[in-house]
Amino acid sequence: MAFYSVHEPVDLNDGGIPPHLNSTLSGRYGVQTLLGVGRTSRVYEARVFPSGEQVAVKILREHCNTSENLERLKWEGEVLNSLVDSEYFLRPIDFAVDGNSGYLVIEKAQGHTLAKVLKDFGRLSLLDSIDVGIQIIEALNCLHQLGYVHTSLTAEDIMLQRCNNRYSVKIVDLDSTCSMTSPATKPMPMIGEGTFDYMSPEQAMNGRLDVRTDVYIFGLLFYEMLTGRRPFFGSNPVELLNARFSTKPESITAILGGIEYGIVLDDIIDRTLAPESNKRFRDLNDIDLMLSKIWKLLTGRDYVTPRKMLDAGAYDEIELNNSGQSASWMQKIASLFKK
């Protein structure tokens, strides 16, 4: 599910008007604003009574209130609950059924999606790409260490918030997450589920999913952050899948010219986007080490996430943060995140 899509497609089953607005769920959550929509659910901003806290409420769509979808929504809440100690995920608050509507209440994410930032600014700087990339890796590793695979992370599912002149990352959608340890007893991704632009070949073909599936998806995201474009093209899902097996992405060095450490970045892309999973990195740890080394070479310091630096009371004054971006470009970023 794209958690923060701008517009909801008209659904004749809904009469074209999103339900639940201005309603109260379980006498506690006052639904206020539609934030986004997915295939099976909508996400609203709501106010908690009596505390006044602003939260996000994910509500199943009317024709999707099946026992299977309720189990998947509950599963997402359980996964979030197991990740409460991680800085990269939203805090779960409640799961319930109100009448015919199943819903999950979670912390409301702040900032803008990676998709919006890329749309507005084309691409991220080298250092920002490494910074956000490392945080995405650490988030996915949190899932992997608990025996989960995300399987369908998109640029719409990654929220960026400015923090100490850097981007801090939150992953806002886990409904496609599956278990590596007991798949027979846990909800699994549906056949063809997910956005094809951010889908591994094995998932598109209903094959076996494991950590290397997330390695592939990371490669898609990292390439897009660095270059401002997606590595494969196709006018439909079949063409896009064929491109992933028959073509190789244009190299980072070819697109960006004399980018620093381009050879290393190209190696990361080659070994994350291999169509056969056994030819990829076996996990994300080696990529984490490679990017952390580049970070230290560029900044002269070990990598620490912006949120941890803020929590420690340290102000990050990395001069290379912009990696050659103009002052006006940085002013545009600042204005976006003040909105």
pLDDT in tens, 287-332: 999 999 999 999 999 999 998 887 776 655 554 444 445 444 445 5
CA distances from 56 to 23, 167, 253, 314 (A): 14, 22, 41, 30
Same domain, 194 and 302: yes
- Centre a 10 Å sphere on the Cβ of residue 192 and count the other Cβ atoms it contains: 12
Number of structural domains (the chain) is: 2
Same domain, 155 and 278: yes
**Gap between the Cα atoms of 106 and 91, Å rounded:** 6
DSSP 8-state assignment for residue 335: H
Same domain, 164 and 268: yes
For 75, the 3-state DSSP assignment is helix
Sheet with strand 29-37: strands edge to edge:
24-25, 29-37, 41-48, 54-60, 101-107, 92-98
Mean pLDDT within 100-106: 90
pTM: 0.85
Among the listed residues 168, 312, 155, 127, the one whose alpha carbon sits nearest the alpha carbon of residue 218: 155
Domain span at 64: 12-107
Last residue of a domain, one of 87, 107, 127: 107
Same domain, 46 and 193: no
Q: How confident is the model at residue 172 (pLDDT cuts 50, 70, 90)?
A: very high
Last residue of a domain, one of 68, 84, 107: 107
Q: Is the dihedral of CA 142, 147, 153, 157 positive or negative?
A: negative
Give strand pairing partners of 101: 98
CATH of the domain at 83: 3.30.200.20
Output the pLDDT for position 245: 86
Same domain, 309 and 206: yes
- Cβ density class 305-327: b for 16+ within 10 Å, e for less: bbbebeeeeeeeebeebbbebee
Does residue 236 register a pLDDT over 90? no
DSSP line for 30-55: EEEEEEEE-SSEEEEEEEETTT--EE
pLDDT in tens, 246-298: 889 999 999 998 888 999 999 999 999 999 999 999 999 999 999 999 999 99
CATH of the domain at 228: 1.10.510.10
**Gap between the Cα atoms of 320 and 76, Å rounded:** 38
Mean pLDDT within 80-108: 92
**Gap between the Cα atoms of 318 and 296, Å rounded:** 11
